[in-house]
Structure 1
């Protein structure tokens, strides 16, 4: 039976490999937002660069945050004159299972990235055979790394009290979201490890700048000795900066603040030293996922290594900004070399190396 299943998988892979080699692979990306969303615009631009590097025809649909809209788009694409060789998408409002059911129905290899299935424990290539893989940001590690960077920075600045303790508060996103829940877990893990840090309170600000501004003023009024503020994204970090300035606190001087996303506002605040730490780089996942799909369609199955990948965000601070700013300030994705990451195009490569630093290398 095991031999039969192995042969079945080999035949399945070979079918798509032959199809892809007959012409440029056609891959469809279901963008969960719209073209005005800066984060997802970065993701799409990176994927277009990757598709150009790898020789893929990339199509993009925009769901405008509509779960039903994305489902309809999948059906339209699957029933079009040329069915795509593969599809990529993040889970939107827990639509992962319904999207995978469509992939099974239309027999299209599907790859999930950025946001995964949380409604039930599922792994690629188990219940859904056409779900070939997934790549998700290690959100818990991001929350942890952000907290540790802030604690280290606050200590370097000598912001601790007479007992060498730091006082921290936090701004949560939406804890029902994949990112919000796991980033918060990372914060709590860091607090448990750093016994000299007292976390006074976290408050939900739902990823929103204005809510974060108000919640920051409220919490700092309650805990005036606060010297560390952890925010689960850049929007809330910027709101925190504005809130603190409104009550005459000095971000970056008497309180350190950090966020996640590498947004334009976040990077500007980092350059002005109003933010001390900023995590990001997960917009690269679309390009990395596309590299895996390219190899898969070319007959090099990434499953020999794994089918589920976790990507680690990079920490940006004053000491390493020079490495990333040329790319991030100009959105010059041509600096990224995706061909160097492919096993198909680099037969000597034994393991994938999906780090932003590696993607910037020649």
Structure 2
């Protein structure tokens, strides 16, 4: 298998994501190669061309629809024996109207696995709003890269929660592009403009930390004067959740790639994942974790192989499985 990782090769989230995939591959006897796109669409396409021109084609190519490159990758590998699998983000409804879905127009596109991003945005917002009860309160929101699938879906979850809580007033939503420095600079201006903000919703952890730094500089104490949500699995964010600087933390999607390796391993062995939950899957991996769970996850992530035998989740080794039902429960035991 080859994974066209869209992230930076030094980016903690995508590096950890890849590490979980490699742990699954090691347990299942899969040869997995990961190439980083460095968040550059041209680099991602160049990596795909290199795979195609290599001495031996992989059995499976795993790609993300970040920067909406999915249809171009499908066209590039059309007619080859390589089986394609969309991971983390799949084709949008507009893209599918032209390209079709898995096993349709592109027969070698066999499936997709994405996280419950909309639900994550919603759960974070609901838990954040609960910190202040029913009193009127002002909110700032930091989303990722405009119009990308993960950012758009998490925003949608936020807006669903806002519709249920009219006492929460969204003062402004900005695009921090997943970056701490950008969110910090934005928050410096926003906290001058909206001095009575008490809630900050962030679509990832880096932007939450940028906004938190700006809040500290104007004398606001996280967890007391202002309440922050975050999403991810960095050691830093787990520690912030344990301290209480982060009030609401969603995590779990860093495991997604490992579960994809399990599904494709089984597919190669003749156990089609389409018969165990469908070819297009939304995995409900995002979970809100409390301080104790954050500490537990921090310890499990530090262990080699995460303390998991991935064969426990494979239909090849567990033929009685009727559905995969992936979750992070295995890391919380």
Task: Tell me the TM-score normalized by structure 2.
Answer: 0.91
Structure 1 residues 275-284 or 261-270, which shifts more? 261-270
Distance 1:320 1:151, change over 3 A: farther
Query: Which residue pairs with 2:314 in the alignment?
Result: 342
Give the alignment partner of residue 308 of structure 1, picking from 258, 263, 280: 280
Give the alignment partner of residue 70 of structure 2, picking from 89, 96, 100: 96
Q: Does structure 1 retain, via aligned residues, the 8 Å contact 2:300–2:331? A: no
Encode CA deviations 1:12-66: one digit per residue, 9 max, x unaligned.
xxxxxxxxxxxxxxx1122223431211111111111101111111122222233
Query: Which residue pairs with 1:4 in the alignment?
Result: none
Aligned residues: 327
Q: Deviation at 1:177? A: 1.3
SS in structure 2 of the partner of residue 93 of structure 1: helix
Q: Does structure 2 retain, via aligned residues, the 8 Å contact 1:337–1:359? A: no
Q: 4+ residue runs of structure 1 moved beyond 4 angstroms?
A: none
Query: Which residue pairs with 2:80 in the alignment?
Result: 106
SS in structure 2 of the partner of residue 105 of structure 1: coil
Encode CA deviations 1:151-204: one digit per residue, 9 max, x unaligned.
22333xxxx6xxx23332212222221111111111000011123322222223
Query: Which residue pairs with 1:42 in the alignment?
Result: 16
Query: Which residue pairs with 1:173 in the alignment?
Result: 144
Flag structure 2 segments of 5+ consecutive residues without an equivalent: none
Q: Tell me, in whole angstroms, the C-alpha distance in 2 between the residues paired with 1:221 and 1:166.
A: 17
Q: Note if 1:318 corresponds to 2:296.
A: no
Q: Tell me, in whole angstroms, the C-alpha distance in 1 between the residues paired with 2:179 and 2:306.
A: 32
Q: Note if 1:120 corresponds to 2:91.
A: no
1:1-362 alignment runs, 5 A limit: 27-118=1-92, 120-121=95-96, 122-155=100-133, 164-304=135-275, 305-312=277-284, 313-328=286-301, 330=302, 332-358=304-330
Task: Tell me the TM-score normalized by structure 1.
Answer: 0.84
Structure 1 residues 119-128 or 103-112, which shifts more? 119-128
Q: Deviation at 1:104? A: 1.9
Distance 1:224 1:75, change over 3 A: closer
**RMSD between aligned residues:** 2.0
Q: Deviation at 1:264? A: 2.9
Q: Does structure 2 retain, via aligned residues, the 8 Å contact 1:227–1:256? A: yes
Flag structure 1 segments of 5+ consecutive residues without an equivalent: 1-26
SS in structure 2 of the partner of residue 106 of structure 1: coil
Distance 1:78 1:42, change over 3 A: same
Larger radius of gyration: 1
Q: Deviation at 1:282? A: 1.0
